[in-house]
Amino acid sequence: MTISAETSATPDRDWWRGAVIYQIYPRSFQDSNGDGIGDLKGITARLPHVAALGADAVWISPFFPSPMKDFGYDVSNYTDVDPMFGALSDFDGLIAEAHRLGIKVMIDLVMSHSSDQHHWFIESRSSRFNPKADWYVWADAKPDGTPPNNWLSIFGGSAWAWDPTRMQYYMHNFLTSQPDLNLHNPEVQDALLDMTRFWLQRGVDGFRLDTINFYFHDKELRDNPALEPSRRNASTAPAVNPYNFQEHLYDKNRPENLEFLRRFRAVLDEFPAIAAVGEVGDSQRGLEIVGEYTSGNDKMHMCYAFEFLAPDPLTPARVVAVQDAFSLAAPDGWACWAFSNHDVVRHVTRWGHDILDRDAYAKMTSAILMTQRGSVCIYQGEELGLTEADIAYADLQDPYGIQFWPEFKGRDGCRTPMVWDSQALQAGFSTAEKTWLPIPVEHQLRAVGAQYGDPASVLEQYRRFLAFRKQHPAFTKGDILFLPEDGTVLGYERRYGNEIVLCVFNMSAAAAATELPVGEWEVLTGHGFESSLEDRRVELPAWGAFFARQA
């Protein structure tokens, strides 16, 4: 397989708009040294798969030094590589190979909190008067010794942990080993921006910003109000977590963040063609915050909220409602949509657990994702139609799942190793006798090698549709206009310049039909879906799709 990349003397500063970004979870992509854990050299070796798929960029989840309490999202050194994953020279090699293949590289920045093993926190907790005493969020106990307020951690319990050295509480929105940085302190902001420049100077093309709306807290430490049960939503935290019982006005989503994001964007703009996407973790005001963070050209290039990562079933009405809500909240903004990632149940299971033909469902949903207005994130293994793995309690690694088992089983089920060769040991992921998470047998049967070259496979459909998508600028940069609701059929037009492309989907397990809109339409092919057109009537098989261009 030969992949060639086109180069240009003038970088495309707008490359991110409509880009397809392939998310790599480093622990689970490819192990190059036989220890059962994926690494940077493994990623580099498998980049041709990403290029052959047709993705424009990779987003690599954290690979920085970390005690791995939250598997890399607890950073102990922002400017190095954890030995588990390799060395800085390995990252440089990854960048070089990605760019040779024409792939942009985005990395995950975790700036709301660090590990408690970071030297900043070690110094901060040593006394109340050291130079970094105010680099984290510290507060005195109430007179009765209880925490300063009622804020809760997403991982369960109070968002405050007692430190006996300082005789104060420190804030942690996640694990107690993930203390929150105090971005009200300009020195903290400067240190984080210097870290950003470090990676830009090494050649990264952009960033995914973890928990972007958690950066600032209310200086007055006011209690969050209770949230009435009818407004509780389980997309940010599992339904069994009382975190959903509060309206999170003061522990996150603070207006001070806007000025910091402007500072962050100014650093990005010092370099050519850099882009950033922010993760907005809020089920109550998610799209509203996305609108704030992407307004103008001085903050985030794009953001994603949890609307399509939530448990809510994917229906025509749901797709329309989410896009309409985004247009209202962020009329000048740009979204980045994903159906799966490393934090949620894989969407083929989440939405399609009771569907018999999951391959057809996976193909149909992928086409919906890749024709939405916005950029797209594909999570590793999604292109194989992987389902959520059922991990036994004894094999669990995720502290989130261990805390809330069995009602919530955590995130390990979507983080199992990538499957490359169904005939090889550990499906070609590793030569180790045991991998950090077990590989389900049903996944091994869906390995890349088993699907590659099979025109009926989910993998080949992803490749085919991504190639089809690139032939039509309306898909990458165009506007979206929804057709009137028609039962289980979802229809919309993508419009860009003189091009209008019609997209129609049957989101059901039974055949369906619909009428074409007024106008002359040229039926498009090469996308992998079959349908029939007679006069103006489109006949769609179960989980089918139809595409046409206005003649």
Average pLDDT over residues 295-316: 93
* Percentage above 70 pLDDT, the chain: 98
What pLDDT, on a 0 to 100 scale, did the predictor assign at position 2? 37
H or E element at residue 106: strand 104-109
Q: Is the peptide bond between 406 and the residue preceding it cis, with omega within 30 degrees of 0? A: yes
The answer on pLDDT for 233 being more than 90 is no
What's residue 69's pLDDT? 97
Q: Are 58 and 106 in contact (CB under 8 A)?
A: yes
> CA of 402: how far to CAs of 19, 62, 232, in Å?
36, 22, 23
Would strands 104-109 and 57-60 be described as parallel, antiparallel, or unpaired? parallel
pLDDT level of residue 234 (50, 70, 90 thresholds): low
Facing residues of 506 across strands? 489
Q: Is-contact 368 482, C-beta < 8 A?
A: no
Per-residue pLDDT reduced to its tens digit, 384-405 = 999 999 999 999 999 999 999 9
Query: Considering Cα of 111, then 113, then 114, then 120, what sign does the dihedral take?
Result: positive
pLDDT of residue 49: 98
* Long-range contacts, stretch 80-85, CB < 8 angstroms, 24+ apart: 81/40, 84/35, 84/37, 84/39, 85/26, 85/38, 85/39, 85/40
By annotation, the residues acting in catalysis are 210, 270
Question: Higher pLDDT residue, 239 or 484?
Answer: 484
Residue 551 pLDDT level (bands cut at 50, 70, 90)? confident
Q: How far apart are CA 541 and CA 52, in angstroms?
A: 29
Query: CA-to-CA distance for 129 and 179, rounded, in angstroms?
Result: 18
- What is the reported pLDDT for 7? 43
- CA dihedral (422, 426, 429, 431) positive or negative: negative
* Beta carbons within 10 angstroms of residue 193's beta carbon: 17
Residues 345-359 have pLDDT tens digits of 999 999 999 999 999
Q: Which amino acid, residue 9?
A: A
Question: How does pLDDT run across 191-204, given as a tens digit for each residue?
Answer: 999 999 999 999 99
CA 519 to chain centre: 38
Q: Is 394 exposed, middle or buried (0-12, 13-18, 19+ CB in 10 A)?
A: exposed
What gap in Å lies between CA 55 and CA 31, rounded to an integer?
A: 22
Distance CA 546, CA 325 (A): 25
pLDDT in tens, 17-49: 999 999 999 999 999 999 999 999 999 999 999
Q: What is the spatial distance between Cα 338 and Cα 414, in angstroms, rounded to a whole number?
A: 14
Q: How confident is the model at residue 235 (pLDDT cuts 50, 70, 90)?
A: low
Cα–Cα nearest to 404, from 234, 246, 250: 234
Distance CA 66, CA 68 (A): 5
* CB neighbour list of residue 394: distance below 8 Å, 6 or more residues apart: none
* Cα distances (Å, whole numbers) of residue 418 to 108, 188, 301, 364, 525: 20, 37, 30, 22, 31
**Per-residue model confidence (pLDDT) at position 3:** 38
Token pair listed for 163: 């430190």
In the predicted structure, residue 210 carries a pLDDT above the cut 80: yes
Q: For the beta carbon of residue 119, count every other beta carbon within 10 angstroms.
A: 11
Does the pLDDT at position 464 exceed 70?
A: yes
CATH of domain 20-112+185-469: 3.20.20.80
Share of the chain above pLDDT 90, in %: 92
Task: Specify the pairing of strand 168-171 against strand 160-163.
Answer: antiparallel
Rounded (5°) CA angle 349-49-210: 60
pLDDT at 155: 92
3-state percent breakdown (helix, strand, coil) of the chain, nearest 5: 30, 15, 55
| Selection from 429, 282, 457 nearest residue 358 by Cα | 457
- Domain residue extents for the chain: 20-112+185-469, 478-550
- What's the mean pLDDT when you consider all of the chain? 95
- Residue 236, pLDDT > 60, answer yes
Give the pLDDT confidence score for residue 305 in this predicted structure: 83
CB hemisphere CA count around 209 (13 angstroms)? 30
How high is the pLDDT of residue 231? 83
175: Cβ contacts below 8 Å, ≥ 6 apart: 69, 70, 74, 153, 155, 399
CA 254 to CA 547: how far, in whole Å?
43
Got the DSSP string for 259-313?
Answer: HHHHHHHHHHTTSTT-EEEEE---TTTHHHHHHHHHSTTSS-SEEE-STTTSSS-
Residues 412-424: pLDDT tens digits? 999 999 999 999 9
Residue 547 CA: distances (Å) to CA of 53, 472, 513, 544? 21, 11, 14, 11
**pLDDT tens track for 371-380:** 999 999 999 9
Q: Span 78-85, mean pLDDT?
A: 98
**350-372 in b/e burial notation, b at 16+ Cβ within 10 A?**
bbbeebeebbbbbbbbbbbbbbb
To the question of domain 478-550 being in CATH 2.60.40.1180, the answer is: yes
pLDDT bucket at 128, cuts 50 / 70 / 90: very high
